[in-house]
Each structure stands twice: as C-alpha cells, then as structure tokens.
Amino acid sequence: MTESSGLIRGLEGVVAAETQLCDLDGANGRLAYRGYDIADLARQATFEEVVYLLLYGELPKAAQLDALVVGLTAAREIPREMLQVFRMAPKATDPMRVLQASVAILGMSDPDATDNSHGANVRKAIRLTSQFAVAICAHHRVRQGLEPVSALAGLSHAANFLYMLTGERPGPAAVKAFDASLTLYAEHELNASTFTTRAIVSTQSDMHSAVAGGVGALKGPLHGGAGEAVMRTLMEIGEVANVDAFTERSLAAKRRFMGMGHRVYKAGDPRAAILKGMAEEACKQSGQFKWYEMAVKLHARIAKEKGLIPNVDFYSAPLFYSLGIPVDLFTPVIAAGRIAGWGANIVEQHDDNRLIRPRADYVGPKRREFVTRDKR
Ligand SMILES: CC(C)(COP(=O)(O)OP(=O)(O)OC[C@H]1O[C@@H](n2cnc3c(N)ncnc32)[C@H](O)[C@@H]1OP(=O)(O)O)[C@@H](O)C(=O)NCCC(=O)NCCS
C-alpha cells in the first residue's frame, strides 16, 4: 500500500475469525473448549471425547463415542508407500519434516481428498487424528531400525500412542498424563499454526494441504518447538544447583527463555498450571525428580527477573521426558493433540469461508526507472 494503514506487527490483538471452538480469556488466564473448562476436560474427559466435542459441538453419548472410536480405528492402516518413505528418510531428519511429508502422502490417497464439504471435512479430521499417531510412532520405530507396532484393540488413543511408540503396554498413570496432555494441546484459537491452516483453506484448498502447513508452523521454536527447546535447556543446565548461574548468564546474554511468555496470556496460562502438577507426579514416578525441581526453580527465577509466565510448553517438557518420549518427538506429540483443533478449525473455516488476504505497508524504494543490464 502507498500510505500507512495502521500496521499491527505480528497481528497482535487482531480478531480474524469468529469461532465456537475455543474461548480464550487471556486477561483472566482462562480457557474453555465449546464452553467446557480446560481443567475439567483434562481431568475428566478422554482425548477421544474432546475430539468429538470439537468436531460435533457436544460431549458424546456412549454410542456416539463408540462410533468415533470405530472411525479412528478404521483409519489406522496407513499407506505402504509411507513406510517406504520413512525407510528412505535420513535417520537424523527432524520427525516434524517426516510428519509434514506424511500428511502430504495421506492426502494423495484419502477418499475425500478434495471434497471440502462439512461431512468430508469431519471424516478427514477423524482419519488424520488417528493417522498422526500411527505415522509419528511408525516413523520413530523405523528410524531405529525396528518394525512398526500395530495398535491394540481395546486401548485408548493415548494408550495406543505410547504402545505403538515403545511396543510396551503403558501403565494407567502414564496413559492418564499423556491423554490429558493431548487434550491440553488439542485446541488454542488462532495460534500461528491454526491461523496457517485457516489461511490455506480460505483459498478453497483442502484439509491435507492446510494441515501440512500447520505442521510447518508448529515446528518453530516460538510455537510448538518450544517444548523441545525447554528440555534442551534443562539438559544444558544439568543440575538444580546450576539454575542460578544459568539464569544470570542468560539474562546477561539477553537470551530468550523457551517455554516462558505468551502473546495472549499475561496473568498465567491455565494449561501450564495443570501440566505442572502432572510433571511433578511423572518426575516422581520416573525417579528423575531433578527435572521438575530444575523447572520450578528456573520458572521462579525468570518470573522474578522478567515477569514472564510459563506457557503450555514449559512443564510439558519434564512431563514428556519422564514419560519416556524422545526429546525430538515432543513437537510431533503436540501435533498429535493439535490435529484435533486444526481439523475443527478447518471445518469451521470451510463452513463460513472468506479468503484471508491481509495487506502490507510498502516500505521499499520509491518508483524508479528500470536500468538495463549494461548500465547497472
Ligand atoms: C511466545 C512469545 C513468542 C510471545 O511473545 P510476543 O507477544 O510476540 O512478545 P515479543 O516476542 O514481542 O516480546 C516482548 C518482550 O518480551 C520479551 N520476552 C518475551 N518472551 C520472552 C522470553 N521467553 N524470554 C525472554 N524475553 C522474552 C522480549 O524479549 C521482548 O522484550 P523487549 O520489548 O525488551 O524486546 C514469546 O514470549 C517467546 O518467544 N517465548 C518463548 C518461546 C515459547 O515458549 N513459545 C511457545 C509459546 S506457547
């Protein structure tokens, strides 16, 4: 544009959609999915129930939940070409890149691939929720030279994720913590990755194309990649006794503290409070309590020095680590939760679409005469 139009850097505070999915009250640190408080959902609902709630608007009755589980189970068979891609991928490749490729491959064979109707979008969202878990776990097995593990009938989505990852049946405490984590990550209004998915489908593109973009946005360390970065920070610190010296050094170097701060929550992220309790329990259970202690001390120091609050990715790091999840799978695990919200947002966007196309203030050189190559 030729004249300034009130640039809002990072679109902070800009309202770009109406949604019935997520009620995010940043000033009071509250979060609800379709009217249900996040703490109630994390403690009392299963991830499958949350998926249903996001897609259909209500908590499911028993028969409705059964039907959803049938849909999730039926989608677990992933295309054989995908396993070939996993085998061909460089061993050291970031699993988020592989997940992004997986979504693209799944789009090639999905029976509803280019159907953007409400019904097709709901079916695709259910399939992708199931296929994300299978793809992440199968790739992890293959990169270790192991065979993928098939899901077990009768296990929940969360339990099957841990089972397909390790080949071992997880205990009830681990399943509950993992299930609640998926719920806590399931939806969060117009975060960068969800906004990305909405922008993509606003062109009348399809769910798989949008979700592949969402995976790319989530990967960044200012978004979902922060959880992995938190764990790497804790590992760098090493011991509780080193937290103070680390904080001093980091403050002097003006280093960004991962897992701290949030664009919308200023009083506190309600998900972090729930994850803190779960991390404490899981670190106790695993016999690695130092990660929790270190996180608590680091949180207190950064809050005091910078006035920053821990976000969802801060305490999920020691939690995931204690559950035995490899550090480079933290972001794929977050994606395995957030796919529920991406799917529901894509349904909403397609149901009431207008092309998302903001403007930019032009700040480059004024119009000038073209210079031929011999005169430059
Ligand atoms: C999430 C985040 C990107 C939101 O920040 P934002 O609203 O865009 O705010 P900005 O990045 O513009 O930062 C505003 C100020 O706070 C500081 N700040 C914000 N988060 C910070 C952090 N984690 N560590 C150190 N300083 C931080 C910035 O340095 C900046 O200070 P300045 O004004 O003196 O330059 C930011 O808090 C962050 O980078 N956190 C770490 C990454 C993370 O955990 N991401 C997951 C989010 S769920």
CA of 256 to the centre of ligand 1 (A): 7
pLDDT at 374: 98
Q: What percent of the chain has pLDDT over 70?
A: 99
Could you tell me if the CB of 156 is within 6 A of ligand 1? no
Radius of gyration of the chain (CA): 22
What single letter denotes the amino acid at residue 214? G
61 contact partners, CB below 8 Å, separation of at least 6: none
CA of 261 to the centre of ligand 1 (A): 5
Distance separating alpha carbons of residues 260 and 170, to the nearest angstrom = 30
Q: Which residue, by CA, sits nearest to atom 26 of ligand 1?
A: 256
pTM: 0.97
Residues 165-203 have pLDDT tens digits of: 999 999 999 999 999 999 999 999 999 999 999 999 999
Question: What's the start-to-end Cα distance of the chain, in Å?
Answer: 28
CA of 120 to the centre of ligand 1 (A): 38
Residues 346-364 have pLDDT tens digits of: 999 999 999 999 999 999 9
pLDDT at 238: 97
Distance separating alpha carbons of residues 370 and 244, to the nearest angstrom = 58
Distance separating alpha carbons of residues 43 and 166, to the nearest angstrom = 25
Distance separating alpha carbons of residues 124 and 223, to the nearest angstrom = 25
CA of 11 to the centre of ligand 1 (A): 15
Given a contact cutoff of 8 angstroms between Cβ atoms, the answer to whether 105 and 82 are in contact is yes
Mean pLDDT over 210-233 rounds to 98
Length of the chain: 376
Q: What percent of the chain has pLDDT over 90?
A: 97
Residue given tokens 């996180």 in the structure block: 295
Mean pLDDT over 218-235 rounds to 98
- Three-state SS for 218? helix
Q: Is the pLDDT of residue 157 over 80?
A: yes
pLDDT at 3: 56
Residues 239-277 have pLDDT tens digits of: 999 999 999 999 999 999 999 999 999 889 999 999 999
Q: Is the pLDDT of residue 129 over 60?
A: yes
**Which active-site residues does the annotation give?**
262, 313
More confident position, 26 or 1: 26
172 contact partners, CB below 8 Å, separation of at least 6: none
Number of neighbours of residue 1 by Cβ within 10 angstroms: 9
Residues 295-328 have pLDDT tens digits of: 999 999 999 999 999 999 999 999 999 999 999 9
* 4 pLDDT tier (thresholds 50, 70, 90): low
Q: Is the pLDDT of residue 2 over 60?
A: no
Nearest to 98 by CA among 313, 324, 329: 329
Given a contact cutoff of 8 angstroms between Cβ atoms, the answer to whether 148 and 137 are in contact is yes
Distance separating alpha carbons of residues 10 and 190, to the nearest angstrom = 12
DSSP 8-state secondary structure symbol assigned to residue 170: P
* 5 pLDDT tier (thresholds 50, 70, 90): confident
Residues 65-89 have pLDDT tens digits of: 999 999 999 999 989 999 999 999 9
Substitution site in 189, 260, 299, 314 for ligand 1 pocket (most atoms within 8 Å of beta carbon):
260
What single letter denotes the amino acid at residue 279? A
Substitution site in 188, 255, 263, 309 for ligand 1 pocket (most atoms within 8 Å of beta carbon):
263
Q: Which residue, by CA, sits nearest to atom 41 of ligand 1?
A: 258
Beta bridge partners, 32, equal: 23, 37
Residues 85-107 have pLDDT tens digits of: 999 999 999 999 999 999 999 99
Q: What share of the chain is helix, strand, coil (3-state, %, to 5)?
A: 60, 5, 35
DSSP H or E segment with residue 77: none
Mean pLDDT over 340-349 rounds to 98
Distance separating alpha carbons of residues 148 and 34, to the nearest angstrom = 36
What CA–CA distances, in Å, run from 364 to 1, 2, 361, 376?
11, 10, 9, 19
Could you tell me if the CB of 308 is within 6 A of ligand 1? yes
Cα 237–Cα 217–Cα 54 angle in degrees, nearest 5: 105
Q: Is the pLDDT of residue 208 over 90?
A: yes
Give the chain's mean pLDDT: 97
Distance separating alpha carbons of residues 318 and 237, to the nearest angstrom = 13
Counting atoms of ligand 1 from 1, which one is nearest the CA of 312?
Answer: 48
Could you tell me if the CB of 263 is within 6 A of ligand 1? yes
Given a contact cutoff of 8 angstroms between Cβ atoms, the answer to whether 262 and 188 are in contact is no
Tokens describing residue 376? 């430059």
- Three-state SS for 229? helix
Could you tell me if the CB of 201 is within 6 A of ligand 1? no
